[in-house]
Amino acid sequence: MSWIRRIAEPVLSPTPVSMRRIAIAGIVANTVIMSTGAAVRLSKSGLGCPDWPRCTRASIVASHSAGQTTLNTWIEFGNRLLNFPLVAVAAIVFIAAWRYRPPGTPADGTGRRKDLVWLAAAQPGGVVAQAVLGGILVLARLNPALVSAHFLLSSSIVAAAVVFYVRCTEGTARPRSLVRPDLRLLSGALVGAVALMLAAGTVVTGTGPLAGNADAPRYHLPLAGVTQLHADIGWLMGGLAAALILGLRLTGAPRRAVRLGWRLIAIMGVQGMLGYVQYFSGLPAALVWVHVTTSMLVWISVLLLFFALRDRGGVPGSAGTEQPATEAEPAEATTDAGRAEVLAP
């Protein structure tokens, strides 16, 4: 039984390092389920299982359904099965957060990080919300507004997983800015632009030919118009990202923030290229799927960059984190006045 204890120990007695790994597992699991969900829609398998919670009225597992191919049915049913490992990962994240006691805190309940518990709870809670909303949209025959809401809910859960990852490697000190106030505002505007881009992308898909099923309702909007709007938001994102990385470089921002900025621009460049190629090649489903999956990488990257521009102290023993700035050693990222700005909690 020693092997069971070895497996359970990182969850039941988590360290800063194991918490970080568990948090990464949460990000990966929620990103994968979004990617496979996109594959269901783009392969026109959205009604492969036309009933819920059963696959069909007569069967709880994949079975033949009128108007659906066997492949469509198994793609949709396979995506539903992936919710079981997702539930397991979400439960592990929550249990680890509940059991976690940062180094130097009492072993009783007084040492629990309540902020991490609430962030971790968003993952199992989100799985339940996803399942319910997913069932409703199937019963509503893939209403495009519900499909958009389902995708944006999933994006919000990924965001909560990213924040959980960031916070479990940080202390609980009052946050201080590591860059100038205008760069913090610019990074917040960039997060908003990416969120708007995700929302616009759901409208484009819900208007075009890849809305989940040939008979699924569409947004009654001109495809060329919503596609152009989507592209315009992409150019806005690019301009904000370029201005931000230039500002970070010129003001001596932390090296990690600069690295994350360059990484974000690279992923956004790939994302933009894929968007134009898929549009001018007639929206091939496989290429659109890569485009949707890459959008999650953009979302994760912009959130990591946003949080890299402020400091809340470190957690002893947390691997992969940089040393926080101190008053005696203010790091390489301070404001022009030579001091860090204190932010509201």
Name the residue ranges covered by the structural domains of the chain.
8-311
Please tell me the distance from the alpha carbon of residue 218 to that of residue 145, in angstroms, as a whole number. Answer: 9
| DSSP 8-state symbol, 318 | -
Task: Tell me the longest C-alpha to C-alpha distance in the chain.
Answer: 71
Q: What is residue 70's predicted lDDT score, i.e. its pLDDT? A: 84
pLDDT in tens, 211-237: 777 778 889 999 999 999 999 999 999
Q: Phi/psi of residue 210, each to 5°?
A: -110, 50
pLDDT above 90 (res 122): yes
Q: Phi/psi of residue 134, each to 5°?
A: -60, -40
Cβ partners under 8 Å of residue 327, min gap 6: none
Q: What is residue 342's predicted lDDT score, i.e. its pLDDT? A: 34
pLDDT in tens, 183-200: 999 999 999 999 999 999
CA nearest neighbour of 36 among 78, 69, 72: 78
The predicted model scores a pTM of 0.86
Residue 324: pLDDT band with limits 50, 70, 90: very low
Q: What is residue 66's predicted lDDT score, i.e. its pLDDT? A: 67
Please tell me the distance from the alpha carbon of residue 169 to that of residue 17, in angstroms, as a whole number. Answer: 8
Q: What is residue 6's predicted lDDT score, i.e. its pLDDT? A: 83
Q: List the single range of 4-13, 93-102, 108-117, 140-149 with lowest mean pLDDT.
A: 108-117
Please tell me the distance from the alpha carbon of residue 73 to that of residue 48, in angstroms, as a whole number. Answer: 4
Q: What is residue 345's predicted lDDT score, i.e. its pLDDT? A: 33
Dihedral over alpha carbons 270, 275, 281, 283 (to 10 degrees): 130
CA nearest neighbour of 15 among 317, 323, 314: 317
What average pLDDT does the segment 291-311 reach? 95
pLDDT above 80 (res 245): yes
* Inter-residue contact 34 to 158 (CB < 8 Å): yes
pLDDT above 60 (res 263): yes
Please tell me the distance from the alpha carbon of residue 59 to that of residue 243, in angstroms, as a whole number. Answer: 55
Cβ partners under 8 Å of residue 156, min gap 6: 126
Please tell me the distance from the alpha carbon of residue 316 to that of residue 24, in angstroms, as a whole number. Answer: 19
Please tell me the distance from the alpha carbon of residue 37 to that of residue 212, in angstroms, as a whole number. Answer: 10
